[in-house]
């Protein structure tokens, strides 16, 4: 039995944050009913298409049920409210106030279901002067100071590689708080309104810069933090063939192993004394060999150094494959299958029988 067997989730969400959160709940055993407008949500039509459907939509909505809601149809609205009266969790991602105007807000549902766990995901939260402000992941990272910690050269800034605000600020906190609210309900019988603001959670990604600034009065700027560019022992260095070596030899034992490996001169091993000189020497050493030459040397030294892989290379790693990260499949309308989105739910707590599951049809 999976831990959320018997839990019913009504999912009003679209695009990424909410659908990934409800996918995690589904993988842990919940029955997830995805509510869409006639014709379906926008993500259904995002390229690339596979088997005639959006690969992104299929990957995020494996194993969910569908419910098409026409707001002009009184019968559909009544059926949805009946379902809400029996549900355990509702997750929505509209702008603040929209779901209330639709008639399915927390106060309306609480009348028929006092134990409902009602989770709202938005950029800036349900209250405050920024509540109605439009934004996406990049805006949320920019708004909270995360982007300014490490965006590369000002004349050629680098976009973040991951959707940290959407996933780390939206999906993950939503799941955590929904599970906590269900535990609370088990003890008290009371439901909860959960207000997830993606910007709120961004500050949890900066504990060290925040504590440094609070303690010293100096908040690190672009590239000034120990983990964002100030330390030569923690950085990215190009190899002879244009690949990238990721060096994270933070602890003294790893740094010494790395210094021995590249034969760094003794006077440069205190990388706080003259960071530019040490960084230049490390860079020259790494550039002297190709990635294929460095791979076995890094492995033998075991010094927290490796070569940055492409996503395709990483997904072909036998270790990740053996751990079942890509074993869950989505069944496409044409009968083909594709991997579902990877979720951080361990096999012991999710279904992993190899069955390919469909996504909601419309």
pLDDT digits (tens, 9 = 90+) for 250-272: 999 999 999 999 999 999 999 99
- Nearest CA to 221 out of 150, 143, 281, 308 is that of 150
The string of pLDDT tens digits covering residues 78-117 is 999 999 999 999 999 999 999 999 889 999 999 999 999 9
Token pair listed for 138: 């990049």
Lowest-pLDDT choice from 39-43, 305-309, 346-350: 346-350
Work out the average pLDDT over 209-214: 95
Question: Domain check: are 199 and 253 in the same one?
Answer: no
Res. 71: pLDDT tops 80: no
CATH number (domain holding residue 44) = 3.40.50.10540
The string of pLDDT tens digits covering residues 1-38 is 899 999 999 999 999 999 999 999 999 999 999 999 99
Res. 173: pLDDT tops 90: yes
Assigned domain for 343 exists: no
Question: Domain check: are 84 and 232 in the same one?
Answer: no
In this structure, the strands spanning 244-248 and 305-307 are antiparallel
Model confidence band, residue 283 (pLDDT cutoffs 50, 70, 90): very high
What pTM, to 2 d.p., does this model score? 0.93
Which position among 11, 88, 137, 166 bears the catalytic label? Answer: 166
Asked about 136 being catalytic, the answer comes back as yes
Count of helix runs (H) and strand runs (E) in the chain: 15, 13
Question: Domain check: are 91 and 187 in the same one?
Answer: yes
Assigned domain for 354 exists: no
Question: Domain check: are 299 and 151 in the same one?
Answer: no
Which position among 136, 195, 200, 274 bears the catalytic label? Answer: 136
Question: Domain check: are 195 and 233 in the same one?
Answer: no
Token pair listed for 317: 């790693």
**Which regions of the chain does DSSP assign to beta strands (E)?**
8-11, 31-36, 49-50, 53-54, 65-68, 89-92, 117-122, 192-197, 234-238, 244-248, 305-307, 329-331, 337-339
Question: Domain check: are 125 and 263 in the same one?
Answer: no
Assigned domain for 219 exists: no
Token pair listed for 74: 């009184």
Assigned domain for 291 exists: yes
Question: Domain check: are 173 and 280 in the same one?
Answer: no
Question: Domain check: are 54 and 99 in the same one?
Answer: yes
Q: What is the pLDDT of residue 352?
A: 65
Q: What is the mean pLDDT of the chain?
A: 95
Work out the average pLDDT over 175-179: 98
Model confidence band, residue 206 (pLDDT cutoffs 50, 70, 90): very high
Question: Domain check: are 44 and 106 in the same one?
Answer: yes
Assigned domain for 35 exists: yes
Question: Domain check: are 92 and 32 in the same one?
Answer: yes
CATH number (domain holding residue 292) = 3.30.1540.10
Q: Provide the β-strand partners of residue 202.
A: none
Res. 337: pLDDT tops 80: yes
The string of pLDDT tens digits covering residues 117-143 is 999 999 999 999 999 999 999 999 999
Question: Domain check: are 43 and 142 in the same one?
Answer: yes
Asked about 56 being catalytic, the answer comes back as no
Count of domains forming the chain: 2
Domain of residue 233, residue span:
227-238+244-307
Assigned domain for 115 exists: yes
């Amino acid at each position: 039995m999976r831990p959320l067997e018997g839990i019913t989730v009504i999912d009003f969400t679209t695009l990424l944050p909410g659908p990934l959160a409800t996918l995690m709940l589904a993988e842990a055993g919940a029955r997830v009913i995805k509510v869409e407008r006639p014709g379906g949500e926008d993500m259904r039509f995002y390229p690339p298409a596979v088997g005639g459907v959006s690969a992104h939509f299929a990957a995020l909505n494996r194993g969910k049920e569908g419910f098409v809601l026409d707001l002009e149809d009184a019968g559909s609205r009544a059926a949805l409210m009946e379902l809400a009266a029996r549900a355990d969790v509702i997750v929505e991602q509209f702008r603040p106030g929209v779901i209330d105007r639709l008639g399915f807000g927390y106060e309306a549902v609480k009348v028929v279901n006092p134990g409902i766990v009602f989770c709202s995901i938005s950029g800036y939260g349900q209250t405050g002067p920024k509540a109605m402000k439009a934004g996406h992941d990049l805006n949320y990272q920019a708004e909270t100071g995360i982007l300014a910690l490490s965006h590369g050269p000002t004349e050629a800034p680098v976009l973040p590689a991951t959707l940290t605000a959407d996933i780390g600020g939206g999906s993950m906190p939503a799941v955590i708080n929904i599970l906590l609210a269900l535990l609370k309900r088990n003890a008290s019988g009371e439901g909860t309104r959960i207000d997830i603001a993606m910007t709120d959670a961004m500050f949890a990604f900066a504990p060290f810069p925040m504590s440094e600034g609070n303690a010293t009065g100096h908040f690190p700027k672009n590239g000034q933090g120990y983990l964002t560019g100030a330390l030569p022992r923690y950085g990215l260095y190009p190899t002879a063939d244009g690949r990238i070596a990721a060096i994270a030899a933070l602890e003294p034992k790893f740094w010494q192993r790395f210094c021995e490996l590249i034969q760094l001169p003794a006077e440069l091993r205190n990388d706080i004394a003259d960071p530019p000189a040490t960084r230049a020497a490390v860079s020259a050493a790494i550039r002297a060999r190709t990635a294929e030459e460095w791979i076995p040397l890094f492995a033998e030294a075991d010094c927290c150094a490796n070569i940055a892989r492409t996503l395709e290379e990483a997904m072909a790693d036998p270790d990740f494959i053996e751990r079942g990260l890509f074993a869950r499949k989505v069944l496409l309308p044409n009968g083909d299958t594709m991997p579902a989105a990877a979720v951080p739910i361990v096999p012991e707590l999710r279904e992993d029988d190899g069955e390919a599951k469909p996504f909601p049809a419309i």
